[in-house]
Amino acid sequence: MFYVHSTLEKCCYSILNAAKASYWFHLFSTVLQVIKVYSEDNTSRAVEVPSDITARDICQLFILKNHCIDDHSWTLFEQIPHLSIERTIEDHESVMEVQSGWEMDSHCCLYFRKNYAKYEFFKKPLDFFPEHMVSISSETNGIMNHSQLIQTFLSSSSCPEIHGFLHAKEHGRKSWKKFYFVLRRSGLYFSNKGTSKEPRHLQFIAEFSDSDVYTLLSAKKVYGAPTDYGFSVKASKLNSARDLKLLCADDEQTRTCWVTAMRLFKYGMQLYQNFVQPHQKQKSSPMRSISENSLVAMDFSGHKSRVIENPSEALSVAVEEGLSWRRKSCHRLSSHGSPSTSQSSMISLSSLAIHVAQPWFHSKLSRDEAQKLITQQGLIDGVFLVRDSQSNPRTFVLSLCHTQKIKHFQIVPVEENGELFYSLDDGHTRFTDLLQLVEFYQLNRGVLPCKLKHHCARITL
């Protein structure tokens, strides 16, 4: 049994070469500037680019240079360290315009990494907009139907509204106070009288034509916020802490709702175009990006190959193949037909180390670091990584996001008749190595709250 990609690989080289040729032609026909981009491991790379280059162009450039799989999740981030804030640079935005707002000594930087949640609200709006926080204009006196929610945000004639309590940092003070906030197309307001939405009780805070919404990287530590779910509104040309409108939610879902709505109010239909554009190109191009459904289990044991559609059969075949591979390895390693103790150890070590080269495995990563990495790459269902356990050197941990919360599952080694297996359910379901375990839970939920969909990967630029 093999896992094969359902892509038309014969066309890849010609299309990649055409993309590179187009990029270099554009590069030499316009004014060039040098930009520096960082990855999550803090390696960086300086490249010459046209002055009109967009964030999506930068991502495509680094996807080509680093031979990454283009799954439409690669994103450019703006990080402002002295304010401890960062934001997603939208795909259509001019990178040079973003940099023009930086002060010379501010040490602002660009980061290239995955963001699986960038356009997820177009697919699952219910996960991003809780019903109790969303309503339509007061004239209709109704609650927005979530099936029509995105269309309402994108339409300039409709008036969706986000409302709820947030903590706000009082200007010139260290204290935070809780207010009832209302977000409309005209801007962000807070009520100075409970939950009243009467115009005389609403006080204007910010509008978004010349402002952007950022998340706070260290809300409690840097700004003394009551929770870690902080965000802010910052005018494009202002870069001091006193110019920030600092806000803080009680949980991640609430923060995500406010931040996503602010992005939609600012960019509207442009965000939807950013979302559908790569998919439209994918349909018209013979080369397709590799998705979670592009790997299929194949059986080549008979005269004709066949796709194994039954997950249980795929698992049993994989287990048998793994055992067969080990038996063959033992035979090759021993000229007498039986491996020595040292040779058996080598076989065991090789099977143990198969996961090390996988992009989803992060060796010496702490629990807090794992949570930070998953949060950075998008709090949507199925984002995961596998790491060494810090409390037990012999075990591993699967860190998985579900309902915008990160959960950790211990992968326990199980020995039977001299064979070593790994299990997430106390030995009921066993796997010969971590690679087999991950591939199984990508197809089956099993004991997990959801399937493994998107792995957290770090690249070196």
Three-class SS of 385-402: EEEECCCCCCCEEEEEEE
Return the pLDDT at 304: 55
Residues of the chain with pLDDT under 50: 1-13, 15, 138-141, 285-294, 325-350
d(C-alpha 244, C-alpha 222), whole Å: 13
CA 342 to chain centre: 43
* All CATH 2.30.29.30 domain ranges in the chain, comma separated: 119-137+146-279
* Amino acid in position 206: A
Return the structure tokens found at 359: 């992009």
**Could you tell me which residues are beta bridge partners of residue 116?**
none
β pairing state of 454-455 and 383-388: parallel
Closest alpha carbon to 403 in 128, 95, 91, 96: 128
Only one residue has tokens 């709820």, namely 164
At residue 255, the 3 state secondary structure works out as: helix
pTM of this structure: 0.77
Q: For 348-388, write each residue's pLDDT tens digit.
A: 444 556 888 899 999 889 999 999 999 999 999 999 999 99
Domain with CATH 3.30.505.10 in the chain: 355-455
* pLDDT at site 88: 97
Instruction: Please give the Cα distance from 376 to 128 (Å, whole number).
Output: 17
The CATH class that applies to domain 31-114 reads alpha beta
Domain covering 355-455 assigned CATH 1.10.340.30 in the classification? no
- The distance of Cα 61 from the centroid of its chain, to the nearest Å, equals 19
Identify the CA nearest to 204 among candidates 179, 225, 226: 179
User: Tell me, what's the pLDDT at 174?
Assistant: 83
On whether the 119-137+146-279 domain is CATH 2.30.30.40, my answer is: no
User: Residues near 434 by Cβ (< 8 Å), separated by ≥ 6?
Assistant: 354, 355, 358, 361, 386, 396, 411, 422
β pairing state of 44-50 and 32-38: antiparallel
Q: What is the pLDDT of residue 461?
A: 85
Q: Of 66, 68, 451, 50, whose CA–CA distance to 289 is shortest?
A: 68
Residue whose structure tokens are 């602002």? 108
pLDDT tens, position by position, 399-437: 999 999 999 999 999 888 888 899 999 888 999 999 999
pLDDT score at 117: 94
For CATH 3.10.20.90, the residue range(s) in the chain are: 31-114
Quote the pLDDT of residue 106.
Answer: 80
- Counting every residue written for the chain, the total comes to 461
